[in-house]
């Protein structure tokens, strides 16, 4: 069949495309190795990296063992990165993550790709919507959740500096927050990325931060002036930095493509409850208990799960109206 | 019949006596604790002693890093490893076993006892770690081998096969030798998968031998042989559960220790080399 008139669908970039040059920077660091669970192609590890002798060790579809192998290499002075799908690496690799990496405080980093609902077309088994909760239940591992280029670059610098267990939640999508977003210049676990006022604060992480940014902008046009707070490190969560970023806002909307209860929503609830009578109102946007993803184009999936900009705008409007009624 | 030269014969004699002392220490640890696994400890004492002491492997050496690595994947044989290390280090008095606060945890914990290289206990999980250690040694350009001692029941765990397939597919392969302590028993009784797993191991590795794992001369010869060859290998050791304990038989439950009279008799036997 002739290709005339038929345009191939454009394949959108992944966060690994953004990460690729950062990983290439490890070419002159002989202690850095990548243990790939049949993922070196999917995650765009560059030809230079893959052809560098011993730099990328492909172990096949063996996420559980990939983590154990990485731990073994760390015992002999290497700084290993496990490369795999977030859901498979966390679920299959959990025992090694818990009993070797976390318990022994090993310098092993898991690059968990296709996190959240970002791998939208592949359906629920490929989607990772409980990884943060599972890892925080284990404890002793930093869960890092970068979004756009600036937060990704700073997070990678932090990863190279840190010598303990780390999990990077990475996405199938390239994340851009827009020209009016604050570009980060130094590593911080929490950052204000858009600041139009303190009527409300949208607190989010990872690729759905884009949905939060779109909602904050739309609401500004309607006269509601809020801010967008990015959480770059979900575990352990820096309560003080988070409260400082929320500032004077009395309404907080948490947004995530993860189970609310074990994700940001549950954590924010605990943090805000600590404020007692001064606690501001919290509305959580994300997956409810027992809710999983499904196949679909990402915008349709996010809309179907009520984790898109429209759902966030609706949450702010509804909560603002309730607040108004209570006070008058 | 294996023919040994004088030097080898002397090493065998020495290690037979070391194995007796290690068995005595192992029994003392377990009986004093009132807890432990005699069967799987005693079946692999000879292999542990050969790995730790033999000139070929010197796994217990501390003065350099050019010796072989020993990773005890069958963590329920921890008492045998602790006893062997104490004998090697010349410790007069041993810590208590499996008591709160003791570095001698029921299964090895390297965070509590750094003399043990890798924690284990969840069967199968230490095999991938051994693959990682062996890969690292290879990348460092070192020629030393990594030996991982596994149980035969342990080979039912999926992590073992993921790890071995990953190791087998590397070019060049890491210098990793899997030693299987095939005593024929697991927690629920006889291991029903022995023949299947043996043939699977044989298929995956580049070099495979089958020996009597309670015959020190055979174990030493196998280790000497594997030290001469690169890549992924396996030594299938047919062993006897509770080897060295008179009257210990196939019906003995896994975590039963025996009456104080019987333990005293065993301790006397081991003291006198009977």
| Residue A59 Cα, gap to closest chain B Cα (Å) | 5
State chain B's mean pLDDT as an integer: 94
The number of angstroms, rounded, from the C-alpha of B136 to the middle of its chain's C-alpha atoms is 22
What is the maximum alpha-carbon separation in chain A? Answer: 70
Angle at A96 between CA A95 and CA A102, to 5 degrees: 100
Question: B169 vs A74: CB contact, 8 Å cut-off?
Answer: no
Pick B166's closest partner by Cβ from A62, A76, A80: A62
Question: Mind telling me how many Å the CA of B137 is from chain A's nearest CA?
Answer: 7
What proportions of chain A, in percent to the nearest 5, are helix, strand and coil?
40, 20, 40
Report chain A residues touching chain B, CB-CB < 8 A. 33, 35, 54, 57-60, 62, 64-78, 80, 95-96, 99-100, 103-104
Give the minimum alpha-carbon distance from A41 to chain B in angstroms, rounded to a whole number.
17
CA distance B159 to B130: 12
Instruction: Looking at the complex, report in whole angstroms how far the Cα of residue B274 sits from the nearest Cα belonging to chain A.
Output: 41
User: Looking up tokens 């004088």, which residue turns up?
Assistant: B6
The reply to whether residue B128 touches residue A74, judged by beta carbons under 8 angstroms, is no
CB-based contact A242:A207 (threshold 8 Å):
no
Å between B211 CA and nearest CA of chain A:
28
Dist. CA B94–CA B25, nearest whole Å: 9
Interface test mutation site (partner B, options A72, A83, A96, max chain B beta carbons within 10 A):
A72
Distance CA A248, CA A197 (A): 9
Contact residues on chain B for A69, CB-CB shorter than 8 A: 128-129, 131-132, 135, 163, 166
Beta bridge mates, B149: B72, B179
Cα–Cα distance measured from residue B153 to residue A52, given in angstroms and rounded to the nearest whole number: 39
Instruction: Please tell me the distance from the alpha carbon of residue A216 to that of residue A312, in angstroms, as a whole number.
Output: 9
In angstroms, the CA B239 to CA A49 distance is: 46
CA of B119: which chain A residue's CA is closest?
A: A100
Identify whether the C-beta of residue B51 lies closer than 8 Å to the C-beta of residue B58.
no
At residue B3, does pLDDT exceed 70?
no
> Which residues in chain A have their CB less than 8 angstroms from residue B131's CB?
65, 68-69, 72
Q: How many CB atoms lie within 10 A of CB A278?
A: 8
Q: Distance between CA B136 and CA B200 in Å, rounded?
A: 25
Q: What percent of chain B has pLDDT over 90?
A: 88
> Which pair of tokens denotes residue B132?
């990682």
User: So what's the pLDDT on residue A62?
Assistant: 96
Both tokens assigned to B270: 């081991």
pLDDT of res. A325: 61
Within 8 A of A59 by CB-CB distance, chain B residues are 162, 166, 169
What is the rounded distance in angstroms from the CA atom of residue A15 to the CA atom of residue B251? 59
Report how far apart, in Å, the C-alpha atoms of B199 and of each of B204, B208, B210, B234, B236 are. Answer: 9, 10, 11, 11, 10
Q: Using beta carbons and an 8 Å cutoff, which residues of B are at the interface with A?
A: 110-111, 117-119, 122, 125-140, 158-159, 162-163, 165-166, 169-170
Indicate the burial class of A61 (C-beta count within 10 angstroms; 0-12, 13-18, 19 or more). Answer: middle
Tokens of B260: 């104080």
pLDDT at A3 (0 to 100): 38
Q: Are A51 and A58 in contact (CB under 8 A)?
A: no
Interface touch B128/A67, C-beta < 8 Å: yes
Whether the link from the prior residue into B99 is cis, omega within 30° of 0, is no
Half-sphere exposure of A195 (CA within 13 A, CB side): 10
The arithmetic mean of pLDDT across residues B90-95, rounded, is 87
Interchain contact, A104 vs B111, CB within 8 Å? yes
Contacts of B140 in chain A (CB under 8 A): 76-77
Element (H, E) at A218: helix A209-221
d(CA A118, CA A129): 10
Say if residue A225 is preceded by a cis peptide, omega within 30 of 0: no
User: How do A226-231 and A190-195 pair as beta strands?
Assistant: antiparallel
Q: At what angle do helices B6-33 and B45-53 cross, to 10 degrees?
A: 120
**B-chain residues near A65 (CB < 8 A):** 127-128, 131, 159, 162-163, 166
Report in angstroms the alpha-carbon separations of A308 from A13, A218, A287: 20, 13, 12
Q: What ipTM does this complex have?
A: 0.95
Contacts of A35 in chain B (CB under 8 A): 132
Q: Are B210 and B225 in contact (CB under 8 A)?
A: no
Q: What is the pTM of this model?
A: 0.94
Distance CA A179, CA A195 (A): 13
- Report the b/e string of B61-80 with b at 16+ CB within 10 A: eeeeeebbbbbbbbbbbbbb
Per-residue pLDDT, A323: 63
Give the residue among B139, B115, B142, B119 at the shortest CA–CA distance from B129.
B119
Q: Outline where DSSP puts E strands in B146-256.
A: 146-151, 176-182, 185-186, 189-190, 207-212, 232-238
Residue A202: its pLDDT value, please?
98
Q: How far is CA A216 from the centre of its chain?
A: 19
What is the rounded distance in angstroms from the CA atom of residue B175 to the CA atom of residue B133?
10
Q: Do A69 and B129 touch (CB under 8 A)?
A: yes
Residues B134 and B146 sit within 8 Å (Cβ to Cβ): yes
Predicted confidence (pLDDT) at residue B209 exceeds the cutoff of 70: yes
**What is the pLDDT, as a whole number, of residue A10?**
38
DSSP assignment of A95-162, as one string?
HHIIIIIITTT---EEEEES-BT-SGGG-TTT-BSSHHHHHHHH-SSEEE---SHHHHHHHHHHHHH-
3-state secondary structure of A84: strand
From the CB of residue A18, how many other CB atoms can be counted at a distance below 10 Å?
Answer: 21
Contact B243, B214 (CB under 8 A): yes
Min distance A258 CA to chain B CA atoms (Å): 28
State the Cα–Cα distance between residues B140 and A212, nearest whole angstrom. 47
Q: Is the pLDDT of residue B193 over 90?
A: yes
CA torsion, ordered A39, A104, A153, A172, to nearest 10 deg: 30
Q: Which residues of B touch A78 (CB under 8 A)?
A: 136, 139
Beta partners for residue B250, in sequence order: none
- Which of B133, B159, B169 minimises the CB distance to A72? B133
Query: How close, in Å, is residue A39 to chain B by CA atoms?
Result: 14
Q: Consecutive sets of 10 residues in chain A, 328 residues long: mean pLDDT of each?
A: 40 75 92 96 89 94 96 98 97 98 98 96 96 97 96 96 97 91 96 97 97 97 97 97 96 98 97 86 96 96 97 95 63
User: How many Cα atoms are found within 13 Å in the side-chain-facing hemisphere of A19?
Assistant: 29
């Amino acid at each position: 069949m002739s290709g005339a008139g038929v345009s191939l669908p454009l394949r959108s970039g992944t966060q690994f495309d953004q990460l690729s040059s950062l990983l290439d920077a490890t070419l002159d660091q002989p202690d850095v190795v990548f243990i790939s669970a049949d993922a070196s192609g999917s995650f765009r590890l560059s030809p230079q990296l893959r052809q560098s002798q011993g730099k990328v060790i492909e172990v096949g579809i063996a996420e559980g063992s990939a983590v154990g192998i990485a731990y073994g290499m760390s015992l002999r002075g290497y700084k290993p990165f496990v490369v795999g799908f977030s859901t498979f690496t966390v679920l299959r690799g959990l025992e090694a993550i818990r009993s070797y990496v976390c318990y022994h405080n090993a310098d092993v980093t898991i690059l968990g790709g296709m996190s959240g609902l970002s791998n939208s077309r592949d359906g629920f088994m490929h989607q990772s919507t409980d990884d943060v909760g599972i890892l925080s239940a284990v404890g002793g591992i930093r869960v890092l959740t970068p979004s756009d280029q600036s937060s990704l670059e700073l997070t990678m610098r932090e990863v190279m500096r840190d010598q303990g267990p780390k999990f990077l939640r990475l996405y199938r999508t390239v994340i851009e927050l827009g020209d009016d977003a604050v570009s980060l210049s130094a590593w911080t676990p929490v950052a204000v990325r858009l600041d139009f006022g303190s009527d409300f604060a949208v607190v989010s992480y990872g690729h759905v931060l884009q949905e939060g940014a779109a909602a904050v902008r739309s609401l500004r046009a309607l006269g509601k002036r809020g801010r967008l707070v990015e959480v770059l490190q979900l575990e352990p969560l820096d309560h003080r930095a988070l409260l400082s970023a929320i500032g004077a806002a009395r309404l907080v909307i948490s947004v995530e493509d993860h189970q609310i209860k074990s994700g940001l929503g549950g954590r924010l609830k605990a943090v805000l409850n600590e404020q007692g009578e001064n606690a501001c109102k919290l509305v959580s946007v994300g997956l409810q208990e027992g809710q999983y993803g499904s196949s679909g184009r990402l915008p349709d999936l996010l809309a179907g799960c009520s984790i898109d900009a429209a759902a966030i705008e609706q949450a702010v409007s509804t909560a603002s109206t309730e607040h108004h009624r209570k006070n008058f | 019949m294996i023919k040994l030269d004088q030097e080898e014969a002397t090493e065998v004699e020495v290690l037979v006596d070391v194995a007796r002392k290690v068995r005595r220490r192992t029994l003392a640890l377990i009986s004093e604790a009132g807890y432990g696994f005699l069967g799987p400890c005693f079946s692999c004492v000879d292999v542990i002693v050969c790995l730790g002491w033999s000139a070929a492997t010197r796994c217990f050496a501390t003065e350099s890093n050019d010796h072989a690595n020993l990773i005890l994947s069958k963590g329920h044989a921890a008492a045998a490893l602790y006893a062997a290390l104490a004998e090697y280090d010349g410790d007069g008095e041993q810590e208590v076993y499996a008591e709160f606060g003791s570095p001698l945890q029921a299964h090895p914990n390297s965070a509590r006892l750094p003399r043990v290289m890798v924690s284990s206990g969840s069967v199968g999980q230490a095999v991938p770690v051994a693959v990682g250690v062996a890969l690292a040694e290879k990348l460092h350009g070192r020629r030393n081998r990594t030996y991982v001692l596994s149980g035969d029941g342990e080979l039912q765990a999926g992590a073992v096969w993921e790890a071995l397939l990953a190791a087998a597919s590397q070019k060049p392969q890491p210098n990793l030798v899997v030693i299987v302590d095939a005593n024929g028993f697991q927690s629920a009784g006889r291991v029903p998968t022995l023949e299947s797993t043996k043939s699977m191991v044989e298929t995956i590795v580049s070099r495979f031998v089958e020996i009597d794992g309670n015959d020190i001369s055979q174990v030493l010869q196998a280790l000497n042989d594997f030290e001469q060859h690169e890549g992924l290998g396996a030594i299938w050791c047919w062993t006897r559960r509770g080897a060295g304990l008179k009257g210990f038989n196939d019906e003995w439950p896994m975590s039963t220790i025996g009456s104080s009279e019987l333990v005293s008799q065993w301790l006397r036997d081991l003291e006198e080399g009977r």
